[in-house]
Structure 1
Amino acid sequence: MYSDIDEQVIIERDCEATLIPFGNKITLKKGEEGHITQALGGSYTVMIRGNLARVEGKDADAIGKTPQTQPWLEEVEPNGRANEKSVWEAMKTCYDPEIPVNVVDLGLVYSCEISDEDSGGSLVKVKMTLTAPGCGMGDMIATEVKQKIEGIPGVS
């Protein structure tokens, strides 16, 4: 899903955001004005105070939006194992906040292996790289991939 927009917003409550491209945490203050420049994968890129900041989906209400649904969370194999298609779909909702391309289509994911756990469920191992050496958003992107995969039924 590509969403390159320019929508003015007024911050409705204080919320945490991530400064792009540095990765520093900042607080957007209630009443501040900004512009949504990108809405992809459940997060939002907002131009505010002359900088780009990423607002996570859990804070969508702070910019007047409703969190997006995650349909891949509903699919699980009959044996309780994580659905491989769901894992790839989840990764395709993780976007570089500076460019409107997901980590899979950017070629950042090298491999994805799913194995059964003795305790039940599945272990998912992903090998991926950053968009560029020294990218301040790399940890944030990797964490987003991890969190979205961990939210899939059957992943332990």
Structure 2
Amino acid sequence: GQPMLLQRGEQVVVTQTLGGSVTVQTQMGYLVRISAEDSAALGLSGDGAEAISGGEGPFELDQVIAQLKNVFGPEIPINVVDLGLIYLCEAEPLADGTHRVEIKMSMTAPGCGMGDVLKEDARAAAQSVPGVSDVDVELVWDPPWGQDRMSAAARLQLGMF
């Protein structure tokens, strides 16, 4: 993903409002991801403009997975967990009572330009969980991602049955 400046008043089509970010298509056909922080400028309300929040309470790894389900790429309306991009999600307790979370994830294609963006979104999602003090997210390419990694719900949503 390359930074792109949209001009005030430029006409765009909203293609996705999932996980806090918004994806729009410009008149030139470019897909542009707008962060949750900047999406208010579009005048949108509801799920697309809400920031990810991990809630309160003691640490639970299930909460990390739940927060990762709020991370979406700009083109496919399926979260990174159901899309099968999360290869590993583990937590290690630390001496101070907090946890370090390790995530290994992939992209649907090695040339995906959104890798760093989705990696940061995954880190922020995991960091939002109570009791998480450190998050390490690594992009991995082995094994290569394949459609067989998608959940049944994701395949159904994409009409792949």
Q: Answer yes or no: same fold by TM over 0.5.
A: yes
| Interval containing the TM-score (normalised by the shorter chain) | 0.7 to 0.9
Q: What CA distance in whole angstroms lies between the structure 2 residues aligned with 1:144 and 1:131?
A: 16
Whether 1:144 and 2:144 are equivalent positions in the alignment is: no
Whether 1:88 and 2:65 are equivalent positions in the alignment is: yes
Q: Map 1:2-21 to 2 at 5 A.
A: none
**What TM-score results when the alignment is normalised by the length of structure 2?**
0.75
Cα distance, 1:75 vs structure 2: 3.4
Q: Which moved more, 1:37-46 or 1:61-70?
A: 61-70
Q: Map 1:7-156 to 2 at 5 A.
A: 23-50=1-28, 51-66=30-45, 67-68=49-50, 70=52, 73-77=54-58, 82-156=59-133
CA RMSD of aligned residues (A): 1.4
SS at match of 1:112: strand
Normalized per residue, which structure has more strand? 1
Q: What CA distance in whole angstroms lies between the structure 1 residues aligned with 2:51 and 2:5?
A: 25
Cα distance, 1:49 vs structure 2: 3.4
SS at match of 2:131: coil
The 8 Å contact of residues 37 and 47 in structure 1, kept in 2 or not, is answered as yes
Question: Which runs of 5 or more residues in structure 1 are unaligned?
Answer: 1-22
SS at match of 2:89: strand
SS at match of 2:22: strand
Alignment coverage as a number of residue pairs: 129
Percent of aligned positions with the same letter in both sequences? Answer: 40
Question: Which runs of 5 or more residues in structure 2 are unaligned?
Answer: 134-161
